[in-house]
Every structure is written in C-alpha cells, then in structure tokens.
Amino acid sequence: MSANVPNIFDRAALRRNRTRAAAQLHEFDFLLQRAAEDLLDRIKVQNRKFETALCLGASNGYLGTKLKAEGLIGSHSTAQINTWIEADITAAMLPEGGLVLDEEHLPIKPQSVDLIVSFWGLHHVNDLPGALVQICRALKPDGVFLAALPGNENLRALQTAFLESQTKILGGVRPHIHPFADLRDLAGLMQRAGFDLPVADSDILRVRYAQPMSVFRDLRGMGESNVLTTRTKSALRRDVLQEALARFHETTQDNGKAVAEFEICYLAGVSPLSAHSKKHEPGEPITRFDERPITGDATPNKAST
C-alpha cells in the first residue's frame, strides 16, 4: 500500500474477526451463499476454459465447493477450470492447501493467472484502486476478473438511524458502519486499473428481523464487525443503541419486522491483450501458481478447516 493512501481499515482486526468467525460461519453465511451462487453463474457463462484460477477471500471454500459440485474444476474435458487456488487473509477460512494472502499486497507474478475471483474481500482494502491494478497485472492477457463485494447501499437505513441518533443524543457522530464503494464508481475504478469491458451491477437482498439487534449478531458471525481504524474503543452507549434500533425498526418495518437491505455489487473485467508489458523488478516477491515452491508473502495452509 502506498504511503499516501489513508489507513481506513485495520487489517489486523479484520484478520482476527475472520479467524473468530470461521468455525461458525455456516450459521451466518446467507450473503456468502448468495454471492457464491451468482459468481458460479457468472463463471459458467464465460464459455471458456481457464488453466489457472485464483479465489481471493476463500471464506471456507463456499465458491470452490459449488464449482466442484457442478463439475467445473478438474482436468476432464467438461471442466472450465483446471487448477483452482483459494486464498484468504486468515488460514482459519482456508480449505486444505489454500494460501494465506493479503489483497493489499499480492505476491503474484505478472501474467500468471487466467481467472481471478474476489469473493467478498475488497470492501476492506485501504487502496482499492491499487488492489485492482495488482489483480489486472497478475492476469494473463485476456484474463478474466470477477468480484462480489458489499456496495454503498448496504445497510443504508441502519447507518442513517445511527447518524441521526448520535447527532440527537451526543451532538456528533462516531463511526460504527464503515463506508462502501458506490456502484457508479466501481466500473470507473476498474477502467482506471486497466481492465477492458468493465462491468458493475448490483443485487439487493432484503432480510427481515423480528429483533433488530440480530443484525449485529449476523454481522459478527460473518466476521464483519467494525474494523475502522477510527472506531471507538469504548462500548456503545445504551441510549444511543436503543434510539438507533428504534429508528431503524420504525423506518423499515414490514409486518412488524425491521428490514435490513444488503447490497451485493458484482464486478467483471478482462485484462487487455496488450497489457503487462512492464518487466518484473529484481527482488519483487512473486507467486506463479504453476510453479513450486511458493515465494513471497504466500503461506500454504496445511490444516483442513
């Protein structure tokens, strides 16, 4: 990450959150399952074969499991992907044989991967344009990039309720839900990173809660607790929380239940045929997924989770 990029997200806290959430993720995985299904469909419609594919944000291997169940991974003639590599910021979220990688510092050799899928991780990256540049550089010419991440409309009503409640009671606001990228900006960021044919679209998943407080239980269970570097270390005041949840319920309720809207944004792009002319710099950490041993910051996970 460049020195002049704001350090918005605490990556160490993110790693801790995801590590704690891994064992019980299956109880809170409705967003991941939805995103995995959509990414599965988007891979299938590519109508091409990929020798090597990398999944960033393995999240217990949900997407890989679906691809294998559909017979899309392997060396047989009907498979789309020959080699599927899964990576995550924490080993706790990795299937056996996966790699511990940080999306902010990808030790991947230019032009070494045919397909890169970011499965629910780019929203915590401090330098999103820089991460997209690294991904584009890692793809072979005409390689494909797909991603799923929360968008700016994610939990909008809950964010508004907190802002209004804190303003009323405290006379100011403290960050509790971090900012998300706007859908309209994501395609532009893809183009700036060097992708051809950038596409960004979104889907809204509406979830009803009999108890509005359960939203926070779901977020913790997903490993999505607050990781803002400016987050307050003190406990949230009870009166602020009660006021915010009451506002949230009042403004969204449907048949007596509060409604949380989760926006999932999807990105797609192709690395240009004329890209990747920059030579590899001496001493730069690299990973080629068709070679071993692995070098750089990539750490193989040998334990099955």
Q: What is the DSSP string of 10-35?
A: -HHHHHHHHHHHGGGGGGS-HHHHHH
Residue 173 belongs to some domain of the structure: no
Residue 302: per-residue pLDDT = 39
Residue 294: per-residue pLDDT = 32
Which domain does 197 fall in, by range? 11-154+179-204+264-300
Residue 40 belongs to some domain of the structure: yes
Count of the separate structural domains present in the chain: 1
Find the DSSP H helices in 102-227: 128-138, 156-170, 183-192, 214-221
Residue 32 belongs to some domain of the structure: yes
Among residues 136, 102, 132, which one has the least CA distance to residue 14? 102
Residue 53 belongs to some domain of the structure: yes
Residue 210 belongs to some domain of the structure: no
Residue 115 belongs to some domain of the structure: yes
The token pair at 60 is 């217990």
- Rounded to two decimals, what is the model's pTM? 0.86
Which CATH number do you get for residue 73? Answer: 3.40.50.150
Residue 283: per-residue pLDDT = 43
Regions of the chain with pLDDT less than 70:
1-3, 175-176, 274-305
Angle formed by the axes of helices 183-192 and 128-138, nearest 10°: 50
Residue 256 belongs to some domain of the structure: no
Residue 52 belongs to some domain of the structure: yes
pLDDT tens-digit series, residues 79-102: 999 999 999 999 999 999 999 999
Residue 48: per-residue pLDDT = 92
Residue 284: per-residue pLDDT = 44
